[in-house]
Structure 1
Amino acid sequence: MSDDTDDTIAETETLPLDAWHRRKGARMVPFAGYYMPIQFDGIVSEHNWTRSQAGLFDVSHMGQIMVTGEKAAEELEKLLPGAIASLKPGKVRYSLLLDEDGGILDDLMVTNATPWIEGDADAGEEGHWGEPAYYLVVNGATKWEDIGHLREFIDDDVTLTHMDEHALIALQGPSAATALNRVMRNVIDDMVFMESVTHEFGEWPLRITRSGYTGEDGFEISVPAEFAESLADRLCAEIEVRPIGLGARDSLRLEAGLPLYGHDITTDTDPVSADLGFALTKKRREQGGWMGHEKVMQVLENGPAQKRVGLAIDGRMPAREGAPIYSGDTQVGRITSGGFSPTLERPIAMGYVDTALASEGTELEVEVRNKRLPAKVTKLPFVPHRYHRGN
């Protein structure tokens, strides 16, 4: 065994469900500083199971952060371009952490987790909202940098708590709600996409959020690490639920047209070029006051040089990250994510191309193994989202 391998082992940590995955026969690989399951029975079968039933994903490598204090929303709005102050308790918003040049440091989910304090009815006390609290879920590979960035720029009156003793489990797929309702006794009946609740499941305090990164209806469940195995066992006891690895998670999010940090979005990309303009709340675009505002507004006004697009590629050979994109003899972009779509049974990819060539239907070529493959710009997502938005 080489020294390089020894170093990797020394630096790679384990997550609360590590032993559980190994007992289930997972193939484990280093990812974002942790050993993670890449697959159990096979990527394609796990992908298809999630699309038709419900898959359980371990996403405990993600960073979970609680931001509390009377000025919490105000301070977060210094760094995030989304409207945080107007986010109602129990609601969730996708947002971005930007640097001073408008580059994307990370993408994340923000939940208004302000607790409701029940009053003492016998004493004539009414219920009231407690201290403002915001629950952030950030990417695993960037969580330490994110925490450092938040601590540097957020006022000392606001408290940041890294919830490093919590696991995070995602239950995704069309049968996810059926299975979870059975286990949790209908606690999530009235929830819709981008809503979050707290729930005491026996002795387990959970935060359940109706969201995920597969394009399917689903939930992310934050649970104290000591209860993670028991919860995973309980969920997988349902006939609809099977454990799913990182391989299928990646193919599912690619079909859903969702960008992966460090690949489709980085500090070299801005929200406009990345087609994430929806994360820039209109009122906050106008008001400013958030890091990177001036640079992002310049791109909005002048238009980006390149844009993130979806590509449908002819044949059976997938194009991977880094593959050059051509229009005629001119390179006009590159692939940032690509693979073979189990649902569509064809190669698909996302990448950046010159804005003039970003319109749907534009015919291009992608170079794979020294061959030029015909490709066509296509609308994202490749596979329609099936989020539960209510009636």
Structure 2
Amino acid sequence: MSQHNQDQTADGGPDDADGEIALQPLPLDRWHRDRGGRMVPFAGYEMPVQYEGIMAEHLWTREHAGLFDVSHMGQLLFSGAAFDTGLETLLPGDIVGLGEGRMRYSLLLADNGGIHDDLMITRLPADNAFEIDGGALYMVVNGATKWDDLGVLREGLADEVTINHLEDQALLALQGPEAVTALSRILPGVEKLVFMTAAAFDWNGNPLWVSRSGYTGEDGFEISLPGDVAAEFADALVAQDEVRPIGLGARDSLRLEAGLPLYGHDLDLETTPVAADLGFALSKRRREEGGFPGHERIMIERDQGAILKRVGLVVEGRQPVREGATVVDDEGSEIGKVTSGGFAPTAQKPIAMAYVPAALAAPGTRVTLAQRGKIHHAEVVPMPFVPHRYVRKGA
């Protein structure tokens, strides 16, 4: 566990000798290459985009269990005086009321009500994997924004709040209907977790922090562990018949089918939680009390509606539309924009997310899209495109 390094470039990433942003290797860099992973730049790291092919990896995860390396994500610990009330000045969720071992999706907000990042936050019990007294909070933020997030958090929190950036920790995600079968062989008892809960486990004397969560819409787990044992643990997972390594390409198509937004594409500093259809992240107590950035604007939008809304689209035909395609009116004028899109391997049709005027946001509404001089027709549909299969309490 280490404090965040201060020798960073202005925009937050590690600097090389020529002043360029240097691509960082993941703890599993050699592991990926040895298994045929095709490495590409992503969020300042070299990451595997695919192994055997995006379609095959996508379908394997939906049917069995896929192993994703998400060690580029930022893992942060918060402790010290009034750290949870301090975080409520930046996040719209009920952080103070978060129980031990419980997780919450939340948003790091800007003063205008826009979104710096979306994130997961968990209250640590006394028994945790980070050698820190219970009561601390563990946060996972997006890899592409983690350095900027750290700047916002350090500026917005009191000096008495300690932020530890867990740069030496790896983060793996095991996703799919057979994930629990495979993982419980290695970590007995993990099957007792339910969606959005977490606990500490021991593996060969190494401390692991495991949550039942993920970014695919499937049942699954995220495992935080020391980087120097990540390859050995990944070997133990892929030795299970149910598990194969999966790259970034399938991670993106899986999350799109699940209707989950990607920061920097479907969310940004100009987009509010209401426009993004993330109102569930605004806890009731916090809506009433306020005290988080953009509260007044967000409450007005919640009462009166946002001008634009994030919606799901099913596109006619077989040709997918991509990010950047425009939503146009009858005269061809731009009135909205596609922020994510592709062909859905499970649904077997082109799907997309877009921001459209509120008057066009109801399911069943027909919209027209323009991409590279071609016109496409689409219908607004509820999300997710493929049903979530989370294992909830009492299920």
Query: TM-score band, normalised by the shorter chain?
Result: over 0.9
Aligned residue runs from structure 1 range 312-323, under 5 A: 312-323=314-325
Partner of 2:136: 133
Aligned residue runs from structure 1 range 11-160, under 5 A: 11-116=22-127, 130-160=133-163
Task: Give the letter for the 1:305 counterpart.
Answer: I
2:199 pairs, out of 185, 194, 197, with: 197
Aligned residue runs from structure 1 range 254-269, under 5 A: 254-269=256-271
Partner of 2:300: 298
Question: What number of residue pairs does the alignment pair up?
Answer: 374
Compared CA separation, residues 8 and 178, structure 1 to 2 (3 A): farther
Matched, 1:353 2:364: no
Question: Unaligned 5+ residue runs, structure 2?
Answer: 1-16
- Shift, 1:189, TM fit: 2.2
Task: Give the letter for the 2:72 counterpart.
Answer: H
Q: 1:6-36 CA deviation, whole Å, 9 max, x = no partner?
A: 9899621111000000000010000000000
Could you tell me whether the CA contact under 8 Å between 2:325 and 2:337 is conserved in 1? yes
Compared CA separation, residues 70 and 116, structure 1 to 2 (3 A): farther
- Give the whole-Å Cα distance in 2 for the aligned partners of 1:198 and 1:291: 33
Provide runs of 4+ in structure 1 moved above 3 Å.
6-10
Could you tell me whether the CA contact under 8 Å between 1:14 and 1:35 is conserved in 2? yes
Q: 1:89-118 CA deviation, whole Å, 9 max, x = no partner?
A: 00000000001000000000000013149x
Question: Unaligned 5+ residue runs, structure 1?
Answer: 1-5, 118-128
- Give the whole-Å Cα distance in 2 for the aligned partners of 1:328 and 1:376: 15
Could you tell me whether the CA contact under 8 Å between 2:21 and 2:44 is conserved in 1? no
- Give the whole-Å Cα distance in 1 for the aligned partners of 2:47 and 2:154: 28
Could you tell me whether the CA contact under 8 Å between 1:70 and 1:132 is conserved in 2? no
Matched, 1:250 2:261: no
- Give the whole-Å Cα distance in 2 for the aligned partners of 1:293 and 1:333: 25
- Give the whole-Å Cα distance in 2 for the aligned partners of 1:196 and 1:55: 20
Could you tell me whether the CA contact under 8 Å between 1:104 and 1:270 is conserved in 2? yes
Task: Give the letter for the 1:198 counterpart.
Answer: A
Q: 1:256-281 CA deviation, whole Å, 9 max, x = no partner?
A: 00000000000010000000000000
Partner of 2:7: none
Could you tell me whether the CA contact under 8 Å between 1:72 and 1:132 is conserved in 2? no
The 3-state SS of whatever aligns with 1:299 is helix
1:375 pairs, out of 378, 382, 391, with: 378
Task: Give the letter for the 2:147 counterpart.
Answer: W
Bigger mean CA offset, 253-262 vs 325-334: 325-334
- Shift, 1:290, TM fit: 1.2
